[in-house]
Every structure is written in C-alpha cells, then in structure tokens.
Amino acid sequence: MGFQAIFVLCVLAFMVIALVRDRMRPGMILLSASVVFLCAGILSPREMLEGFSNKGMITVALLFLVSEGVRRSGLLEKLLRRLLPTGRTTVRRVQLRMLPVIAGISAFLNNTPVVVIFAPMIKRWAERMKLPPTKLLIPLTYVTTLGGICTLIGTSTNLVVHGMVIDAGYEGFTMFELGKIGIIIAVVGIIYIVVASKWLLPESRESIAETDGNADAGGRAYRRVEVVLAPRFPAINRRVRDFDFKQKYGATLLELKRAGSTLLMHDLRKERFREGDTLVLLADDSFMKNWGDSSFFLVATDGREPEPTLGPKKRWTAIVLLVLMVAGATVGELPAVKEAVPAMQLDMFFFACVVTVVMAWMGIFPARKYTKFISWDILVTIASAFAISKAMQNSGMADAVAAFTLGLSHDYGPYVLLAVVFVITNLFTELMTNNAAAALAFPISLSLANQLGVDPTPFFVTICVAASASFSTPIGYQTNLIVQGVGGYRFGDFTRMGLPLNILTLILTVALVPLFWPF
C-alpha cells in the first residue's frame, strides 16, 4: 500500500471517529475530509466538485420539495385515519392493516415526512384506544425503511449508489429494479415485525399526559406541546440552563426526555441539549403557528390533529403529479421510448424537475420558502461522498483493501465477499449515516468485483440494501431518532428488535441478490 493510500486510510479513520462521536454534522465532516484530499493533491478541484453537480444528488434535493407538496395535501393524514380502526382491536390487527400500506407509501416518498406525520397521530390513537404506542412506533420507522429499499427514489442512498454506478461507467438502476429484492425483504420484514414485536418491544414507556388548555389573566389558552430537537436547533450542545425558551419561543420548558427517561427541570442544571431530545413545553396557540413547521424541530405536536393547508383541488393535484412523476420515469426507461426521443433523457431527474417547478408555480408548497424544506446537510453529505469515493480510487486505497480482503477469503468465492460487503456497510450505517456508508463501501466493492473478474452489480445492490437497513440503533437513521423521542424508547429497544432484522436482511440479500443479478 502506497503513501497516498495510507494517508487516505488515516483520514477516513479520523472521519469515522468524528461521525461516531458526533463532533459536527455529517455533511461538514465529509466535506472536511474532501478538502484534506484536495490539499494533499489526491483530488483535483473538478473531482471534488463533481458530486455537487451529480444528477442523483440534485434529484434528492428535488424530491424533498415533492415530498413537502404531498405532505401539505393532508391526504396522508386522511389515509392514516382510514387505516386506524375506530372500534376495539388488537396491536397485531393494526399492524397487519397499517404496515404494508405505509411501506408502499415510503417507496415513493421521503421517509422523514411520512414518520413526522404518522408518529404523533399513531401515538394519540393508541393512547385513546388503550393500546401501547411502543408496539407501533418502531414498526413504523422500520417499514418506512423497508419500503424505501423497493424503488430507486425510496431513499437517498439508492440514488447516491445509482449516481456512483453511472460515474463508474455502468448502467444505473431502473425505477423498480431494486424491487426484485426489496419487495421480498419488505414482506419478510413485515412478517417478522408483526410476530416479534409482541415479545421484543416494551409494553409501555412513560408518556406525556394530555392536559386541557389553561388560560392566563389575558385569556390566552396554554397547552402542552411536544417537540423533538433537530440538528439545526440553535442550542444543540448548549447547557439547558443557558437557553431561555420563554424569550426565544414564548414557551416554558417543563420536561426533557432522552432515551426513555424523563429529566425534570431541577435535574437539568448540567445537561446539554442533544439531537433527538424530546422537550415538553407549555405554550399558547401561536407556538404551533410560528414553529410547527420549523426546521429546528423534527416533530412538533400539541395533541391536536393537523389541518390540511391546501384546498381540495391542490391536494389531488399534488397526488396526481406524484403519480405522473413515477409513471413518467418508469415509461421513460423503456427502450422504445428512448429510441423515439433520443435527444431527451426521460429519467427521474427530468420528471422530478418538471413536477417540482409545477408544484412551486401552483403554490402546492410555499415557493418563497423552498430552501426551508431541503435537508442541506444530506446534500452536502452526498456530494462529499462522491469526492471521498473518488479519493479512495485515485489513491489506490480501494484496490489495496480489496486485495487484502480477497487474500483473507480467496477460497470462499463471491458469496462470502458479498456478505462481508453487507456487514461492513451495515455497521457503518448504524454508527454514522447511510450515505457515508455507501461512499466508503462503493469503491472497495467495485475493486473487489474487478479483481474477481465478476459483474459488480450484485455488490452495488448489496450496498443499497445494507446502507438502508438501519434497524439496530436509533442514531443510524433520522426516522429512528424521531420515534425514539415520540415513543420514549431506550437504545436497547432498537438493538433487541432490530438486530434480528439486520441478520434476516443479510441472509436474504446474500441468498437472493445473485439469483436476480448473477456474478
């Protein structure tokens, strides 16, 4: 291994440590590593910036806006109300009725708004029906992840790997190609969740009691509000006692919940705010109007059902546009269509551009505030991931690691290497982020396939599945953090329920991927 390869390996080791210790947001950590490679001459300025103009990255940005338009339609809330029974029922019946539909929704929409909308509604419904919300909220985040594996646009990871595949000179994935393996994993995963949640999920966690609104001397009504802190909350890592909620938000902080435990105000003198903390506030009705959609909070709920912000025509227009986007991208991949319009590439990027612009001009999402609905840290993470992947290839590190791995398992064939790629990618995604995990695994997998002399597609598909299958920790996926806050789960609840699902996904992937994509 040459000096450049060793240098890249050391920088990546520091990068992984910084991600695990949460020193700063993932996008800035990956961008810092890219700048180091630029300064060392391993990356050219063009190679470092290529990720920022990649179609996959820009498609992810556009899909954030499309998801926001669908979220504002209010039709997701309406659908969930129809799915949740009004009479006496059991947890298992609710899961069987609800989980497959949610998985189908998350195959076409960003997971985060789906969980943000559904988690508080499911919790309120479960408490009203005297059922434990803890039996429903982890299954909610798991099925959104399982559904996201099934399509090209189901998760940003699929689009990132798709972009890397194209940059490497191979043909990318079609809209439903990953569904060959994704649907099987989703079905088996849902069956596992329904069967195992009875024994592996807690019966209950401490819940915030609903209280009637109180009025002050001026007649203003106050009620309890529950918020889950996002990475952009301005007081992250600041002491609780040093941040004045009353001055900033017109609300009083009553409780802080973290990892299933409640810390009352007299215990918070030395505590610091962390991403994923759940705060209980006492606030008037203006809080939800001013801060309900704020990027400072992953979830903000006052116990009342949200009202749709669009009229009936715009609601249905948003859904029709989503359907047309998916159908158009699917039809555009057909050989006959490509031959008919050779001058145009009618792919997901094309239709996401068209639908986003139409939604903006029709007022389906607030065009003046469009930057608010895009997760910029994810985009910087994705763009930097392309640069890091290129640095691993330029330095020879990817080839060296691949050769070392081959030397350890040369007698076992590509199936064992497929399992190794899954385990490494999945471990990274549980400890840091899915896109960073894909960036580290992709060049090594490509080099492994080249040195074996086999088709690299099975390795690419494995990366997509393994980088998305974040079930064992609450920190690997943002939706896991959301339900941890809303449901009051402990870290161990995810490991106990999620680790068997990780193993099940590993077995299915290694067994089935080579059947659909031969080596």
209 lies in some domain: no
Place of tokens 């607030």: 366
CA distance 201 to 279: 23
85 strand-pairing partners: none
pTM for the full predicted model: 0.85
pLDDT tens, residue order, the chain (519 aa): 688 989 999 999 998 888 877 777 888 999 999 999 999 999 999 999 988 988 888 998 999 899 888 888 888 888 888 888 888 889 999 999 999 999 999 999 888 888 888 988 898 899 888 899 999 999 999 999 999 999 998 888 999 899 899 988 898 898 999 999 999 999 999 999 999 999 999 887 554 444 445 545 455 667 788 888 888 888 888 888 888 878 888 888 888 887 667 766 556 667 888 888 888 888 887 888 788 777 788 888 876 766 666 788 888 899 999 999 999 988 888 888 888 888 888 888 999 999 999 999 999 988 888 888 888 888 998 899 889 989 998 999 888 888 887 776 666 678 888 999 999 999 888 877 788 888 889 999 999 888 888 899 999 999 999 999 989 988 778 788 888 888 888 888 999 999 999 999 999 999 999 999 998
Alpha helices in 267-374 (DSSP H): 286-291, 312-332, 335-340, 348-361
- Radius of gyration for the chain, computed over Cα atoms and rounded to the nearest angstrom: 23
CA distance 116 to 120: 7
Candidates 404, 431, 424, 413; CA nearest to 506 is: 424
The pLDDT, as a whole number, for residue 208 is 44
Three-state secondary structure call for residue 220: coil
240 lies in some domain: yes
234 lies in some domain: yes
282 lies in some domain: yes
| DSSP notation for 84-147 | S-SS---HHHHHHHHHHHHHHHHTTS-HHHHHHHHHHHHHHHHHHTT--THHHHHHHHHHHHHH
CA distance 301 to 487: 13
Candidates 83, 197, 210; CA nearest to 141 is: 197
Q: Are 96 and 53 spatial neighbours (Cβ–Cβ below 8 Å)?
A: no
295 lies in some domain: yes
Candidates 207, 223, 211; CA nearest to 123 is: 207
Candidates 102, 110, 76; CA nearest to 318 is: 76
450 lies in some domain: no
Residue type, 357: V
Q: Are 152 and 174 spatial neighbours (Cβ–Cβ below 8 Å)?
A: yes
262 lies in some domain: yes
The pLDDT, as a whole number, for residue 171 is 87
- For residue 224, the Cα-to-chain-centroid distance in whole angstroms is 28
272 lies in some domain: yes
Instruction: Enumerate helices (H) and strands (E) in the chain, giving the number of each.
Output: 22, 6
The structural domain count of the chain equals 1
The pLDDT, as a whole number, for residue 305 is 66
CA distance 214 to 323: 45
Domain membership of residue 236 as a residue range: 214-301
What's the CATH number where 241 sits? 3.30.70.1450
Candidates 402, 383, 384; CA nearest to 443 is: 402
CA distance 201 to 496: 8
CA distance 150 to 104: 9
The pLDDT, as a whole number, for residue 211 is 45
